[in-house]
């Protein structure tokens, strides 16, 4: 007798095809009066119910192990996808709105947070029925053989970010970069993992996927079960985005429908942390100040007050880390060279942590044009005397010089970061034993601390004019010029915001962040 699991009913296609198909449904919603800001959210409610139905109807297909035992239903019977298929016209609309209302009235649970204050904005019965029965239902959105799970759902959100250029785009870190960061940090079973600005949960889901791949059946030990009850958690300021993260986590098997929400909706920077973590993974939002645009003056645990949100997140992440905890953080260039508070924060970070690796990223990999960013890796060192700083060497990998990427013509892929990951691990766990290359070299603590303003904007390679011309077509060069100008404008806008925030608070921003 065959033991091959039966695939969920419906036609199956690859992820990109499913995403393109679902994205085409947005045209239907646009013509039905659903605004640009709403149609992705409206589709994700329906897609979540469909994918949950596939998991509920074929639980064995989605079990990670025979040791996992029977999985719970994600959505209660009678309020699920099958109940939508049994109705038509106005009764369908009424029943769908009841589902959203009932599922949202489960306070303190993952499912309740997913549907909290959810509203149906597809009021045309014919449009809703066509979406449910003709467009979404015939296809299988979960595929065990490629572990699709929430990937199609994530792809839909990313297409929304591309389409709008703003809004959701700020929440996405390129998946290949996330995967490379996870491969460097190497989460271990039993470690507490968080993202203080989690967006739709990309870092948390990738960390969980790493644990599943690395530890398999051990996930169902006592240490593994903690993953479902708070070992992986996140924080997000925007409730709508936290909703998407919770959906994403449930579809990937993280947490329980009736368990407590693993994403907290709050301003991470407003108060000192109450919990501490072994791993912090983050791509903090760009911007100035707090929700009010002012510095976080109430944070007495910060080394310096600043209106620069990334500098504040860097201090907050340090405070989130337990002793020997490790962090991987995406940061824009200005965090590496900004003076005033920036110089003080970098000096303290080098003293109190082992700031061991800096990855300089190329432009063209983020949705916002012209973003020049880096990944900073550091470990919180045990308390020591001021004569022995936590950092001995900072290894810089220059992945920016002579590298060109675009979101469509040449998107970043995981293999593009293979050499960096090899270099990262070349010391076999000891960062001081790493092997230098033409793109990878070390700077001593003495070199770093003696630089003007403790400037960490370090270049390993000089751009080759001949190489650049050979690699780049005229349209690519023109686009790079546009991106450089946009990046400069963004810097000027940040300065203007800081000046405005300083005027409101009565502070002198030149003294804060000069």
State phi, psi for 505 to the nearest 5 degrees: -90, -5
Residues in the chain: 514
| 171-200 pLDDT tens trace | 478 889 999 999 999 999 889 999 999 988
Amino acid 179: pLDDT: 95
Higher pLDDT, residue 263 or 8: 263
Nearest Cα residue to 360 out of 385, 379, 332, 340: 332
Is the model's pLDDT at 513 over the cut of 90? no
Cα 214 to Cα 198: distance, rounded to the nearest angstrom: 23
Domain match, 299 and 438 both: yes
Sequence-separated (6 or more) residues with CB below 8 Å from residue 395: 356, 357, 358, 423, 431, 434, 440, 441, 442, 443
Collapse the DSSP code of 342 into the 3-class scheme (helix H, G, I; strand E, B; otherwise coil) and give the result. Answer: helix
Is there a contact between 84 and 174 (Cβ–Cβ < 8 Å)?
Answer: no
| Residue 510 tokens, joined | 């030149």
Cα 485 to Cα 491: distance, rounded to the nearest angstrom: 10
Assigned domain for 345 exists: yes
Assigned domain for 170 exists: no
Is there a contact between 302 and 315 (Cβ–Cβ < 8 Å)?
Answer: yes
CA atoms within 13 A on the CB side of 449: 14
pTM: 0.82
Higher pLDDT, residue 435 or 152: 435
Domain match, 276 and 136 both: no
Cα 445 to Cα 390: distance, rounded to the nearest angstrom: 9
Domain match, 272 and 139 both: no
Sequence-separated (6 or more) residues with CB below 8 Å from residue 392: 354, 431, 432, 444, 445
- The runs of H, that is alpha helices, within 79-201 are 81-85, 89-103, 110-114, 125-129, 151-164, 175-185
Number of domains composing the chain: 2
Last residue of a domain, one of 155, 183, 214: 155
Domain match, 329 and 478 both: yes
Cα 305 to Cα 502: distance, rounded to the nearest angstrom: 12
| Residue 278 tokens, joined | 């072994």
Higher pLDDT, residue 232 or 154: 232
Please report the DSSP string for 142-171 in residue order: --GGGT-TTHHHHHHHHHHHHHHSSGGGGG
- The runs of H, that is alpha helices, within 321-393 are 334-337, 341-352
Domain match, 310 and 454 both: yes
Assigned domain for 200 exists: no
* CA dihedral sign, ordered 448, 308, 183, 66: positive
Assigned domain for 177 exists: no
Cα 248 to Cα 154: distance, rounded to the nearest angstrom: 8
Angle at 422 between CA 416 and CA 427, to 5 degrees: 155
Assigned domain for 123 exists: yes
| Residue 479 tokens, joined | 């686009």
Assigned domain for 375 exists: yes
Last residue of a domain, one of 155, 180, 206: 155
Cα 447 to Cα 156: distance, rounded to the nearest angstrom: 46
Sequence-separated (6 or more) residues with CB below 8 Å from residue 155: 15, 16, 18, 19
| 259-286 pLDDT tens trace | 899 999 999 999 999 999 999 999 998 7
Is the model's pLDDT at 247 over the cut of 60? yes
| Confidence label for 99 from pLDDT (cuts 50, 70 and 90) | very high
Residue whose tokens read 């139905």: 53
Sequence-separated (6 or more) residues with CB below 8 Å from residue 184: 328, 357, 377, 421, 424, 425
Domain match, 490 and 353 both: yes
Cα 331 to Cα 329: distance, rounded to the nearest angstrom: 6
The β-bridge partners of 277 are 321
| Confidence label for 111 from pLDDT (cuts 50, 70 and 90) | very high
Residue span of the structural domain in which 47 resides: 15-155
Last residue of a domain, one of 132, 155, 178: 155
CATH (domain of 49): 1.20.1260.30
Residue whose tokens read 């900072």: 394
What percentage of residues in the chain have a pLDDT greater than 90?
46
Assigned domain for 6 exists: no
Domain match, 149 and 275 both: no
Assigned domain for 195 exists: no
User: Which range (45-49, 124-128, 435-439, 478-482) has the least confidence?
Assistant: 478-482
CATH (domain of 468): 3.40.50.150
Mean pLDDT of 245-271: 90
């Amino acid at each position: 007798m065959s033991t091959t699991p039966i695939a969920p009913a419906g036609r199956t296609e690859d992820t990109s095809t499913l995403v393109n198909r679902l994205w085409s449904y947005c045209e239907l919603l646009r013509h039905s009066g659903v605004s640009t800001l709403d149609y992705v959210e409206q589709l994700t409610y329906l897609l979540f119910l469909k994918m949950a139905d596939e998991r509920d109807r074929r639980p064995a297909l989605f079990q990670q192990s025979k040791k996992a035992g029977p999985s719970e239903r994600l959505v209660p019977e009678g309020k699920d996808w099958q109940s939508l298929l049994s109705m038509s016209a106005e009764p369908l609309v009424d029943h769908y709105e009841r589902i959203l209302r009932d599922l949202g009235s489960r306070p303190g649970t993952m499912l309740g947070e997913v549907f909290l204050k959810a509203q149906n904005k597809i009021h045309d019965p014919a449009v809703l029925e066509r979406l449910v029965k003709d467009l979404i239902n015939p296809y299988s959105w979960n595929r065990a053989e490629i572990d699709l799970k929430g990937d199609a759902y994530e792809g839909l959100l990313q297409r929304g970010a591309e389409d709008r250029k703003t809004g959701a785009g700020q929440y996405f870190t390129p998946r290949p970069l996330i995967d490379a960061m996870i491969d460097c940090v190497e989460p271990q079973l039993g470690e507490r993992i968080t993202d203080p600005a989690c967006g739709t949960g990309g870092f948390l889901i990738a960390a969980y996927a790493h644990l599943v791949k690395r530890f398999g059946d051990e996930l169902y030990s006592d240490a593994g079960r903690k993953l479902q009850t708070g070992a992986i958690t996140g924080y997000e300021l925007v409730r709508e985005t936290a909703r998407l993260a919770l959906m994403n986590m449930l579809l990937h098997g993280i947490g329980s429908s009736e368990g407590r929400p693993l994403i907290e909706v709050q301003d991470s920077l407003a108060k000192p942390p109450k919990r501490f973590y072994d791993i912090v993974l983050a791509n903090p939002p760009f911007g100035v100040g707090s929700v009010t645009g002012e510095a976080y003056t109430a944070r007495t645990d910060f080394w310096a007050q600043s209106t620069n949100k990334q500098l504040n997140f860097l201090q907050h992440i340090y405070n989130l880390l337990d002793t020997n905890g490790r962090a991987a953080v995406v940061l824009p260039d200005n965090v590496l060279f900004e003076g005033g508070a920036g110089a003080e924060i970098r000096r303290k970070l080098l003293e109190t942590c082992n700031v061991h690796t800096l990855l300089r990223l190329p432009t063209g990999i983020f949705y916002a044009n012209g973003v020049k960013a880096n990944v900073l890796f550091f470990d919180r060192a045990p308390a020591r005397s001021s004569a022995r700083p936590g950092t001995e060497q900072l290894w810089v990998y220059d992945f920016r010089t002579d590298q060109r990427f675009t979101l469509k013509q040449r998107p970043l892929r995981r293999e593009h970061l293979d050499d960096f990951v090899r270099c990262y691990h070349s010391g076999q766990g000891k960062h001081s034993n790493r092997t230098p290359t033409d793109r990878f070299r070390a700077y001593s603590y003495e070199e770093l601390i003696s630089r003007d303003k403790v400037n960490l904007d370090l270049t390993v390679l000089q751009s080759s004019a001949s190489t650049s011309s050979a690699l780049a077509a005229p349209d690519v060069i023109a686009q790079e010029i546009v991106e450089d100008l946009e990046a400069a404008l963004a810097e000027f806008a940040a300065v203007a915001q800081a000046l405005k925030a300083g005027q409101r608070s009565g502070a002198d921003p030149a003294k804060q962040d000069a």
